[in-house]
Structure formats: C-alpha cells, structure tokens
Chain A
Amino acid sequence: MKYKRLRIANYRGVDATEIEFETRGVTLVQGPNEVGKTSLGEAIRILFEHPDNASNRHVKAIRPVHQDAGPEIELEAESGPYCFTYYKRFHKKPATKLTITAPSPENHTGRDAHDRAQEILNETLDIDLWKALTIQQGDAIAQPDLANQQSLSAALDKAAGSVPTEQAEEDVFESVTEEYSRFYSVKTGKEGKTLKEATDDADRAESAVSEIEQKIEILEQDIATAARLQSELPSLTKRETQLREDLVEHAGVLREIESLEGRVSEATLKLESAAKTVELAVRDQKERTDTIAEVENDERKLKELAESSADVVASFENAEKQVADAEATSTAAEQRRKEADTLADLRRADVDHYKDNLFLEQLGERKERVDAARKAAAHAEAFLEDSKVDDEAVAEIDSAERNLLAAEAKLETAAPNVKLLGLGACELEIDDQPVRIEKDESRQVTIADQLRIRIPGQLQVEIAAGASTDDLTQQVENAKQKLGQLCRLAGVDDAQSARNAFDQRREALRNIEEKERIESENLRDLTYEQLAEKLLRLEETVPAYISSRVEQPEMAADLEVAKSVGDTAEEHRQNAHSDWESAHDAVIAARKVRDELGKSNESVRIELSSLEKSLEQHRTRLENDRASISDDQLNSKALEAETGHGKAKIDVGTAKAALTDKNPEKIKALAETAQSSLETAKARREAAQTELTEVRTRLRIHGEEGLHEKLHTAKTHLELVASTNRSLFRRASAAKLLYQIMNEERDLARRAYVAPLKERIERLGRLVFDESFQVEIGDDLKILSRSSGGVAVPFDSLSGGTKEQLSLVFRLACSMIVAEQGGMPLIMDDALGYTDPERLRLMGAVLAKAAKECQIVILTCVPERYGNVGTARVVSLQ
C-alpha cells in the first residue's frame, strides 16, 4: 500500500488539513504540538477499521472540539492493483464513499463502500503487519509483534528462497506437539505422568504376580512337608514304642543293682568307722611317746646350757675390768691435754700482745702523717681562698708589665734622656722622689714629658721633653696605670709581688694534692675514722693486757722470744691431744666388747629359766596322762582297733564283688541311653505331629484362597498391562521421534526464514552502529540481542535510545522486505525522542536508505531531528 494524499477535517482539534505524501521516499510532516500530526496516523486506521456510524470510544474520541460537525477523513491511496479514494464522515451526517480508479473504476457508498474497502485491504495487505509497522507516539521503544504476520512470513520465505510454510503444517506441528506432550514434558523431554503411571502399573502387576507365586510356592512346600511328615510319623511312633519296652527291661536289673549298692555302701560305712578307731588309738600312742620325748629333751638341754653359761660369765667380768683400766688411762690423758691447752693459749696471747703493741705504734705514725697533710692542705686552701693571683691574672700582669717596659723603652729611645753619673754618692729627688746615686753609678732617666731633678737645697733642674715625647709618655703612663690597675685587682703591689703570690699559690695547690696522696698511703683500706677508732682501741687494750696477765710463767722479753716460746707450747699441746684421743678410743673398744658379752650372758640366763619352766610343764602333763591311762593300756587298745578294721575291709570286698557281677555301669548307661532316646523320639514324634497339624491348618486356610485363579488373574493382568504398555511406549516413542524430527525441521525452516530479515536489519544497523553489528532474531521474530564487537547484549538490557533505534531499524527492514511484495507504508509518530544528535544523524541515513524502497511518513514537532533524511517532502502543519 502507498498513501498518496490524506485530508482530515473537523477532526479533534483540527479544522482541516491535507497532506500529499511522497509515494516512494520520506514525507516529513512537521508542526507544533496539538496541530494534529498524531491524528493523521490515527485517521487512516479509523478510516479503514470503523464504519461511519460506529459509536465506539475510538470514533467518539475524534469528534471536533469546538464545533458541531462530523469528523471527515479522506485518503487517496494505492494498494496492490487498486488505486482509490476513500472518504468517511462520522457522527454528523455519516457518509462513506469509495472511488476506485484502477484497475477498473468502481464507485461505492455507505456500508458497501466500507466492505469493499475491507475486501481490498484484506486482499492486498497484511493488516496486522500494517498496524504493527505504525509507530504511535511513545511506543517507539518497543519491538513490533511480528510473529505470525503472514505477508511478512511470505516475504521472508521468498527472500530465503524456501517454500512458504502452510498454516496446515503449523497445525500438524501443533497436533504433533500435543501428542508428544501426552507422553513427555515439552520443556524437559522427560517422561510424563502417563508413561510413569504405565511403568508403575507394570511394576505393580509384576509384584502382584510374584507375591501370589510366592504364596503358591509356600503352599507347595507345605504340601511336600505334609507328605513327608505323614510318611515319617509311623516309623517315629514305632521307634518310641520299642524304646519304652527296652526301658522296662532295664528297670528290673537296675532295682537289683540298687539293693547291692546299698550293701556296699553299708559295709563301706563300717570300714570307715573302724579306720577312724585305729586312727584315734595310734594318735593317743603317739602323743604319749611325744610327751616322754619332750621331758627327756628338756632335761638334756638344761644340763648342756648350765655348763656353757659358766664360761660366758667369766669372759664378761674380764671385759668389765678392761673397761675400768682404759677409762683411768683416758682421764689422765685428758688432764694433760687441758694443761697443754692453757699454756699454749697464754703464749699465743703474749705474741698477740707484742703484735698489737707494734701495730699501735705504726697506726700512731700513720695518723700523724695524715693529720700533718690535712693541716697543710687546710692552710693551702685558706691561702687560695684569699689569693686572687691565678694563671690568668699573673699572665695579664706580666703582659701589662711587658707593655710598660716596652712603652718605657720606646720613650727612652725617643724621649730625651738624662744620664746622671754619680761623681760621688749623692741624694737627690727626681720628680720629687728621693733617689740616691752612688759614686760611679750611672742612671739614665728618660724624659717623658718633663723631668724635675732636685738636689735638695741645692739645685732644681727642670727638663721638658718637648712635644715629640708626649705620646710616648702618655703610653708609658697608660701602661703604668694598666699595670697598677691589674695589680690592685690581684691584690698585689707590683708585678713581682704578683709572681711571688702566684708561686705561693702553686705551692698551696701542691699541698692539697699531696694531702690526697698521703691519705691514700697511710689510710690504705681504712677510713680516717676507722683508723682513729682502731688506734683508740689499741691504746686501751695493749696496756690492759699487761695488767690482767697472770704472773707465772713470765712473759717473754720481746716478740721474737714470745714467738719461739709459743711455738714450743703449741707442739706440746698437739702431743697431749693425740695421747688423749688414743686413750678415748681404747675406752670405747673395751666398752663394746663388754656390752656384747653382757648380752650373751643375759640370753643364756633367760634360756635357762625358760627351759626350766618347760621341763616342769612336760613333767606335769606326763604324770597326769599316765594317771588317766597307763602306757600298756594304750598299746592294747590300738591292737584291738586294728583287728576290727581288717574285718570290715573284708566285708566291703565281698559286697562290691556281688555288685560288679551285675555290671551296673553298663546297665545304667543302657537305661540312660534308652531314656534319652525315648525322650528324643517322643519329641521328634510330637514335633512332627505338631508340624503336620500346623501345615494342615495352613493348607486348609490357604488352600481355599483360590491362589490358582488369583495367579491367573494377576498374570493375565500383567500380560494386559505389558501389552498395553508396549503399545503405549511404542506410541510414545513414535510421538517422540516425530516431534523431535519435526521440531528440528521447523527450527531449520525458521532459521532460514529469519535469515533475510536479520541480514536486512544488520545492513541498515551498520549505518548507525559499527561494522561488527549483529542481531539475534528469535522464533517469534523479535530481536533477542544485539552484538557489537563480539559482545552480545540482550535487547531488554539496552539503553532506551538503542532500543528505539533498533526497533525503528527493525520496522524499516520489515517494510523494505514487504515493499518488494507491494509495500507497506511506515508511519513514525515523533519517534527517535531518545536518540542523541550523532545517532540522529546516522538514523537519518538509515531512513534515507530505506526510503528508496518503501514509503515513510514521519510526523514530528521537532523537524531538526530528521534533518538528515536526505530528500524528503516536507509538509508543515500550522
């Protein structure tokens, strides 16, 4: 279809407007808001969709705002072979008019015109696609719904070079999918409820069969068991009877054996009693013999002990004497040792006294030296306290003196000199200072300024130096003053006194230093106070020793003699100690020997007493025993007992022989075996009978359950289920294969069919995006994603601008494809509102390119947006 001209009047806010369209290319309809641009697109749709008398909300909405007139729409267009003008007026005086000029002229009015227009539209246009390609304000961002648009599909099929898909095939595919979904999940391909239930049915049927089979097997086993038990029971009963008879026979013999066993046990008891009597008699005999032996033994031991104890007493007494001797020797030695100790101590005290005396003298001298040094140092410090002539002062004074001398020398050299030569000794005054000049003494006086020499009472010579020596004289005076000043500061009269004072100062310093040395030398490791204390103590102790010492022996004359006498006394003491120790050891040894012998003596004494007591007891007991029964009587009693025992022994032998003849062990064993065998046989028979009863009961219960028919029924059911399932699974398998293949083929066809659309979109898109631009188109003919530079971004994740551009490109591509089949105009109502200026420029190129193949109508209030669409017919609405 192509629009050629559209006129609307009394339409919403528009009184009247008419536009001529560019049939192949861009028509740009521009104008401000509310001038009626959007109404143009809407008007075309309303013209075709609604009869003139329609009163639905769409039609009501287009009524003019300010006047009471019917909205009019008139469109001149081409569609397929048809060229026509289509006119409608709604609401007021509704009218419809269709004038067809080609291929053959036709004129229609009223409903007939509406229907004919519908026919032409249906015949030549895919109405859905036509609607889908119109971009209303605001929906530019969304993709058009193009799935199942037949003209697009046909165009795409043609473009793909494939056979167009008939609706019939889609219907079949739908049926196939439905059939497949009866058995499998279309989404996951997993088995569905029907197949699962079928499998479960088969499992249940199988387990039902096997359950009954099991029951039958148990039944068969019971039948076999019953048969076996029935055949076993008679023989078990017979065996039981036989054993009972055997047991009766054994019981008779056992009674006889029991009687014989009674006899044996009686005789055995008698024998045991006789043996007991013998045992008692023998014991009494032995006890008597033992008592006699004990008495004899005690007597013998007593005698032996009495003899051996005499020696022990003698040895003990001797040892006691030895101890006494040794103790006497030890006491004497101890006395000597004490005397030697006393003497040696005295001699050592004497030596110490002499040493202390000597030490007293030395300490006194050392103290005196220290005291002297301390005194000198104190003096020196006092001097230093007053002396101001230190190194610096003396140096300054020396320097001032040298300056004075130098100044004087200069004055002397430069100033006039007066040489005085004594012709004889004479007294004179120079500058009022009395001076004596001896005979032949020469004295030169420099005249610094003026000089007055007066010989008192005789002569006064005044000599003036004149102007040239004034300076020098002044310098000398200055130097003198300086020297005088320094000397005053140092507290001395002149330079020499200063030097003397300085020498004294050095002496004082040396004295202070000397004090340290002397103290160190004489105090050594003591403080002065310790030294003084020691000295004080010695001064007390030394004279005290003399007064307190014993008179005899006399004290040695001096230290040396005292030392010698002391050494001798010490030697004596050592010897005395040694002697005393030997004597003391001898005492200990003797005491040890005496103590040991004492112990032996005591034990012998105790033993003797004990033996005497024992002998007494044994003698008493023997006497008592004999008084009770004599030795002879005891002996005859034992003999009697022995005879009785021999007789009882013979009786037992006789009884046992009688019992052995009956072979009791064998008989008992046989009887026991027979008894236990009987019990076993009885138990076996009873068990067999019980089992048979149980088996019969079971058989009675289960035998009539109809297991046979149940099994048959279950098997039949199983077979039925199996057969049904075979058929079901076969059908499922067929449906699966068919679905899979058909789905694959359909997808392949779809992909082929989508290819031209994709190619067209990408060709246009590359004008806006880059050269790597690609899109993925889904089965529903929607853009799934856009790739650029190899990176795919889902459509929904793209920016608003890009979505808008892509959607427009997409619509343009569709229009271009469909254009080849007669075309489909694309109306854009203020699209590209989200697009930036650069992209707008590029989109202009896209529109220009598309416009070469299809009709594009752009409605906009912002004409600048579309400044780059190339050649366009511009229609301005006011």
Chain B
Amino acid sequence: MRPPFSLGEGSAPDMTKECAGKGEVTEWAGSGLTPNRQNGERIHMTTVRFLHTADWQLGMTRHFFSEGVQERYSQARFDAIRKLGQLAKDEDCSFVLVCGDTFESNQVDRRTVARACEALKEIPVPVFILPANHDPLNAASVFQSSTFTEQKPDHVKVIEDTAPLEISSGVELVGAPWRSKKPAKNPLHELLETLPVSGPMVRVVAGHGVADAFTPDKDAPAVLSVDELDHAIHEGKANFIALGDRHSATRLGAGDRIWYSGTPVSTDFREDNSGRALVVEVEAGNVNVQEHVVGDWRFTEFDHVDVNGADDLNNLTRTIDAIANKERTVVRLRLFGGLTLGLRVQLDTILQSAADLFAGFDVRDDDVVVMPDDADFSDLGFSGFAEKTVSRLRQQIEADRSDADQARDALMLLMRLSGGAA
C-alpha cells in the first residue's frame, strides 16, 4: 500500500471525511454489509463523497458552429471546470474524479493546457485525472507535456498506474489508466482481474470505455463488459465503479454502483442526458448518486420537419421561436416536402434569420423539392424573351432531368433579380 496521497504544501483541502457529506462516521447496519462479508461481523465502514465527472474533452472543436461560436463553446468547457469546483465545494465533496478524456487529444494546443490548469486551480478539493483513449499515457501524453507538468496545481493528480491511492483512512481510489489509444484489452478489465477484494476499505474504481450495452461492436478490444463490472462489484472488488466515455449521465448494470458521469458540457445531438456531473456518496453498503446540471449548451435535433405549405412554414417559425437560450443552442433541422418557388424563398428567409440567432444551425433540406407554379411568375409581368426563359426553365424542372436543380436555382435567381418574391 502506498502512503496516503500527498497534496503537497499550500492550501491542501482536507479530502478525508469521516463520513459522507457531514463528516460523520456511518455505522453499518446489517443490510449495509458488503455482499461478500456476510459473516455478521460489525465493521466500521468509512463513507466517501466525491464529484464524479468525465469527458471534459478540452480542446474539442465543433464544425457546425456559426462564426465566433467555437471560442465561446471552448470557454464554456473551461468555465464548466470552475462550476464543478463550485459544485464540489457546495456538495462537500472530498475530491473530484475525472474519468478520462479530460483533453480531446494529447495534441491539444499548449494554451488549452494552460487554461485547463488555470481552471483546475479553482477546484478547492483534490482532483484525480484518469488518462483515457483521447489522452492516453503514451510518449506524447499531454500529462507529461512541459506546460502541464509546470503549470498543474499541486492538488491535481494524474492516475499513472493501477496502484491504489489512499484517499483517506479506509478509502482508496484505484484507476485503470490508458497507455495507448487502442489497447488490446480495456485497462479496467485488466485491473479488475488482479484486484483483490477491497475488504473493509471503501474502494472507488475509475475506468473508461464504451460499455457493450451501447455499442453494436461488442467484441471490440476495449469494450467494457457490464456483466464483468457487475461481477466485480458483487465480488467486492469495488464499491463504486466510476466510468467515462459516454457523454450522457447513465447508470449501468444491475445496481446503482456503476455510472457514467457524462460530459459537463454537451457535445453532440445524440446525447440525451449530457451537461451533467454526479455527486457520489459511497459507503460499503450504500451508494447515493445525484445528477447535477453543469452545462447550459444544447444540441437539439429536429429530424423530421414537414414543409409543404405556408402553414408548415408558420409552424416552423413558431418552433424555432420557442427554443430558449438560442446563443448556446445548436439546432439541426431535417426538412422534407415540396414548395413553390415563392414559398421556398420564404423558407430561405426563415432559415437565414434563424441561422443568425443560434450557436449553430445545421439545415438538411435536400428533401425539399421546389415546384414552381404559375403564380410564382404572374407578378413579374414578363411577356417577351424573359417569359420564354421562365418557360424553358420550368420545362427543365418538369422533365426532372439531372439539371432540374440547376433550373430551380436559376428560376429562383431570376425571381430575385426581377424583384419577385425573393
């Protein structure tokens, strides 16, 4: 057993708690015994309360942002670190555990690393960082970079091996760091195979990787087996398994002891419960997990919106209007339907206005067909060669040849240039 983890000099926060939250020692009731210790022996069980987070993905960039949004978004991720510090403080957490993918990559800009270190300073409790597939502990590890090693606050500890870290008396943290992006086996499984039962200790195990429940490629090398994790819990090898990788806060397995914390700031449309962190209170017999909202960025997808007439356009306008916090919301719209030229031009106007408001506005309108009708052109008052031009373009559209789209565009351009609906 290693000596207790030292926080170094300076303002070392007291990370040991005699009991969860309020510093009390919880005495185990019978039902609180760990499953493999049902020998009737009364044990004084230690309780630990910590902040479980992961997937900060610092340095992440998103391609669908409007101009200037990327910087705000990046800043939001640094701000989230500070919020987590505040949350840890508010919730009396002993430490913060970051279960992997702290950085988007080992090759992030040194300014990103520096800003991360700066934000980490504002977390008042010890921070344990687990290297994972995005930032593995290889020869180019960001955690060994000069910027990180020089600027990292003392209370931040990178979990570099599987040696148990004694958090406090009776509480230990064991992490399974990744040493490469593509290990032959998930390091957590390797750890659990050799890890002895925790005994009277409260043991928190930190790991990273996609669980077989969430991937179709269940036989891939680094996939986590939920059953095996459950089994480890059952054997008493861990009291809580804190995971990273999945960006939505998710409970795994049979009990309440295996969790993905999710990312503190949402990163994509597919995340149904992101922007969270977990306050976990563990004792041998009990676990209490609370989700806390951290981030206020949203990725909202409308994957089927019909636009077949003026009413639909009105509905769309109302839907868009109803979305709050637009400057931190990224919207994806998938539009379907058929419109006249005039309505199509209206739709474009709606979409253009919306694009100006949202952090990102990703429209997929390949399935919106423009069918010009007579009314589109009647106001233009063409009678000569311009009218014949319109007629030829319309024929081209109706013939539905490969150049129909080009003809539609040409018609819309003509409308615009002649001061029509456009």
Contact = CB atoms under 8 A, between A and B. Distances in A.
B410 A737 contact: yes
Contacts of A715: 63
A60 interface: no
A709 B109 contact: yes
B382 A705 contact: no
Given A175-B418, A705-B109, A734-B412, A219 B406 contact: no
Interface string B378-420: 0001111110110011000000000100110111111001100
A745 B385 CA distance: 5
A733 interface: yes
Interface of A: 162-166, 168-169, 172-173, 175-176, 179, 216, 219, 222-223, 226-227, 230, 695-696, 699-700, 702-710, 712-713, 715-716, 719-720, 730-731, 733-735, 737-738, 741-742, 745-746, 748-749
A735 B63 CA distance: 29
Nearest to B417: A175
B381 A168 contact: yes
Interface string B28-72: 000000000000000000000000000000011111010000100
8 contacts: A168-B381, A169-B382, A172-B382, A173-B385, A222-B139, A227-B138, A716-B65, A745-B385
A223 B181 CA distance: 11
* Interface pairs A-B: 6 shortest CB-CB: A706-B109, A734-B409, A226-B139, A708-B105, A712-B61, A745-B385
A29 to B, nearest CB: 42
A200 to B, nearest CB: 21
A741 to B, nearest CB: 5
Interface stretch (B142-150, B243-251, B315-323): B142-150
Contacts of A168: 381-382, 386, 418
A419 B14 CA distance: 223
A742 B410 CA distance: 10
Given A169-B385, A216-B107, A709-B112, A223 B413 contact: no
B138 A226 contact: yes
B180 interface: yes
Contacts of A696: 139
B220 interface: no
A175 B386 CA distance: 12
Contacts of B61: 709, 712-713, 716
B104 interface: yes
For A164, A176, A713, A730, which residue has the most chain B Cβ atoms within 10 angstroms?
A: A176
Contacts of B107: 216, 219, 702-703, 705-709
Contact of B145 (A165, A169, A219, A704): A704
A165 B386 CA distance: 9
Given A172-B418, A709-B112, A227 B385 contact: no
A712 B109 CA distance: 11
B381 A165 contact: no
A741 B384 contact: no
Given A163-B383, A223-B140, A709-B112, A741 B412 contact: no
Contacts of A173: 385-386
A707 B70 CA distance: 17
A703 B385 contact: no
Contact of A748 (B63, B385, B406, B412): B385
A703 B135 CA distance: 12
Contacts of A166: 381-384
Contact of A223 (B60, B109, B139): B139
A741 B146 contact: no
Contacts of B382: 166, 168-169, 172
Interface size class of B (residues with CB under 8 A): 35 or more
B111 interface: yes
A223 B141 CA distance: 9
A169 B386 contact: yes
A705 B112 CA distance: 11
A160 to B, nearest CB: 11
A590 B57 CA distance: 136
Given A172-B414, A737-B410, 19 more contacts: A163-B383, A164-B384, A166-B383, A169-B382, A169-B386, A175-B417, A216-B107, A222-B139, A222-B140, A702-B107, A706-B107, A706-B110, A712-B60, A713-B61, A738-B389, A741-B410, A742-B389, A745-B392, A749-B384
Contacts of B414: 172, 176, 738, 742
A639 B18 CA distance: 113
Contacts of A163: 383-384
A734 B413 contact: yes
A733 B409 contact: yes
A715 to B, nearest CB: 7
A734 B386 CA distance: 15
B378 to A, nearest CB: 14
A738 B394 CA distance: 12
A609 B411 CA distance: 140
Contacts of A748: 385, 388
B108 interface: yes
Nearest to A733: B406
Contacts of A712: 60-61, 63
Interface string B153-182: 000000000000000000000000000100
A746 B413 contact: no
B223 to A, nearest CB: 22
B106 interface: yes
B258 interface: no
A507 to B, nearest CB: 140
B86 to A, nearest CB: 27
A700 B146 contact: yes
Given A709-B108, A742-B385, A172 B417 contact: yes
A703 B141 CA distance: 8
B403 A737 contact: yes
B389 A704 contact: no
Contacts of A745: 385-386, 388-389, 392
Contacts of B411: 738
A700 B406 CA distance: 52
Nearest to A730: B409
A703 B388 contact: no
Contacts of A164: 383-384
Contacts of B242: none
Contacts of B59: 706, 708-709
Interface in B77-118: 104-113
A37 B384 CA distance: 44
Contacts of A707: 105, 107
Contacts of B392: 741, 745
Given A699-B140, A704-B147, A710-B109, A179 B413 contact: yes
Contacts of A222: 139-140
Contacts of A699: 139-140
A735 B138 contact: no
Nearest to A226: B139
Contacts of B142: 703
A705 B107 CA distance: 7
A741 B386 CA distance: 9
A447 to B, nearest CB: 155
B150 to A, nearest CB: 11
A230 B141 CA distance: 15
Given A706-B112, A709-B109, A741 B417 contact: no
